[in-house]
Structure 1
Amino acid sequence: MAEDFLLKKGILQEIFREKVEKDNPVDKILSTLSSFYGDLNPEILLSASGMNGVYSAFESLSLIQQKKGKTIWVRLGWLYVDNIRILEKYTESSYVIHNATDLEELEIFLKQNSEQVAGIITECPTNPLLLVPDYEKLKSIVDHYKIPLIVDISVAGSAIINILPYVDVIVESLTKFACGNGDLMMGAVILNKIQIGSPKFFRYVKNGLKTIF
């Protein structure tokens, strides 16, 4: 290990002893995340990473929507590269709106294609352009056409923003705000039980998440 090498060379004086959490860390993490959402009482699932959470939410909705003949995914905004790659690699077809604030283009597209749209993926704020659409207006659009909305909030985090009332699924990397030291790999999927209350969806997401807990 690198640490052993540095100790042998005299660069380190001793091995760093990591703190061992004696209490149940999972309960503590879930309780902290839940506290950010107050009375909304979301279903929160932990994953091995933020991207695992994004993919699991996306894949679960895709499996459900494909059976309804809905295979088009809308990418709202210029997103983090791995989110873009998921849509490029795992969708039959996708529609890209590069400006995340251009809800007029979204409405025009959905008016013509909503019957084939499986879902929408965006970020709040988008990475790297830091754009944020009007979420009240966005919710009215997706509610009208009954389109699921997945939002990655990794740039900000649950401690900073709460858009749960406007979306179906929130995903975030806990490596960012929860740790900040780059020595933690973990993500969270936060489900709006009012918006998307399908037991089948919950089950699919849980089965798709890779976790060590």
Structure 2
Amino acid sequence: MTLALLSAAAPAPTRLNPVDLFLQADIIVQAVMVGLILASIWVWMIIVSFSLRLGKLDKASREYEGAFWEEPNTQSLVGKQQRREIPAARVVGAGLDEWKKSTAKQPVDRDAARQRIGAAMESQVAEEADDLAGRLNFLATVGSVAPFVGLFGTVWGIMNSFFQIGAQQSASLAVVAPGIAEALFATAIGLFAAIPAVIAYNRFSGLVNQYEAKLQRFADKVHAGLSRELDRV
């Protein structure tokens, strides 16, 4: 009779309210939810900033490469400012720096010079790719860890629900359901953070590989040109 009166006095919610689920959850579950929400916000910040940065770098590199092949004096295109801003310029700069060092003394060992120039440019290409992909590690971490963190919150919430069953000596849905709903909400937030992180990581990793391949092809062409210049030394 008492349970019936309590059920009549408290109207059942008609839909899920995320704010209520968060406020009514255990402190541990709340901490898990807050951590996952912050991780999700950071993931979206990385997605937006990386997309803008990659688009800007790709455009700048294409413009630089076009100007590079049209400019007879390549030295004028390799300034300190351009090295700071354009990865393709830094790759060319690494090759030219090594070319100057290798041809500073006579006689010139052409085969060794070609190998050193190629190694310098390949190293710079790899460094540019590593720098671009550095923040993607966070996406991979969130994508793999967030579901388990959410699952931890769910397990803790379900354990708390069983504790309430023992404390109130009742296994009715009115006692168990709220705690289970709050616990499952933690897993939902974990998936909300992990799914876009995994998708973005896979997509951006492919774009970084494509960008690295473009830089490497450009470096190979520049290396071929410098090799021809070595034959004239």
More helix by share: 2
Q: Could you say whether these structures have the same fold, taking a TM-score greater than 0.5 normalized by the shorter chain as the test?
A: no
Higher-RCO chain (CA-CA 8 Å, sequence separation at least 6): 2
Given the two structures, how large is their TM-score scaled by the length of structure 1? 0.23
* Structure in which a larger fraction of residues adopt strand: 1
| TM-score in terms of structure 2 length | 0.21
